[in-house]
Amino acid sequence: MKIEIFQKPEKQSQMLKFLQFGTVMVFIDSRHPEVVVPDYLVGDFQLRLNFDYAFEIEDFRVLPDRLEGSLSFNNRDFFCVIPYSSIYLLVNHGIQHGALFVESVPLEMMDYFTQATTQHAVEEAKQAAPVRAVEGAPSPAKTTVAQKAEEPEKPQKKTPPKKCHLRLVK
């Protein structure tokens, strides 16, 4: 999944963009004073709520400063108000894309995102690092081809179909 870092003013535009592709998981710090969610969810700095136009929520609105809509919790509708200042991550799993808003990340989650970002940067650097050739050594592509030519192909064993635990009764 690709997660990009965005600035606070871009939360509404990113939310609208992701909604075009289906369900958006919104990561919220529900300790924010303006967040309105059921009482048992208040205090969760990792609250995740799903929004989608396909849910056909009549009062769902993406406003310039907040999200609003009646969501179902334990088969009961509850009108939620989610200010953008409490949202720190938007994810659309359908397109494998996310938007991170660093200025809104709770302190408890900052270490996690710092480690994930550092690990991702190290992996990208390893992939982008040029490979130094050693004089007289065959190139990796040639070595791979040579190794494949030397190794005899192993016949693949066909496993018999598993016996079913059901029987035909006449």
- For 37-47, the pLDDT digits (tens) are 999 999 999 99
Mean of pLDDT values over 102-130:
69
Mean pLDDT value across the chain:
80
Q: What is the pLDDT of residue 63?
A: 95
Q: Where are the domains of the chain?
A: 2-128
Q: What is the pLDDT of residue 160?
A: 60
pLDDT, tens digit, 9 for 90 and up, residues 135-147: 444 444 443 334 4
Confidence of residue 134 (pLDDT cuts 50, 70, 90): very low
C-alpha torsion angle, residues 72, 77, 81, 84 (rounded to 10): 10
Distances (CA, A) of 92 to 6, 28, 48, 101, 108: 15, 15, 12, 15, 23
Report the sign of the C-alpha dihedral through residues 51, 54, 60, 62, in that order: positive
Tell me the CATH number of domain 2-128, given options 2.60.40.1760, 3.40.30.10, 2.30.30.220, 3.40.1410.10. Answer: 2.30.30.220
| In contact, 62 and 19? CB cutoff 8 Å | yes
Q: How far apart are CA 80 and CA 99, in angstroms?
A: 21
Residue 54, SS3 per DSSP:
helix
| In contact, 94 and 21? CB cutoff 8 Å | yes
| In contact, 131 and 140? CB cutoff 8 Å | yes
Q: How far apart are CA 81 and CA 90, in angstroms?
A: 16
Q: How far apart are CA 94 and CA 61, in angstroms?
A: 21
Q: What is the pLDDT of residue 78?
A: 97
Higher pLDDT, 156 or 135: 156
Mean of pLDDT values over 1-28:
92
Judge whether residue 1 has pLDDT over 90: no
3-state secondary structure 100-156: ECHHHCCHHHHHHHHHHHHHHHHHHHHHHCCCCCCCCCCCHHHHHHHHHHHCCCCCC
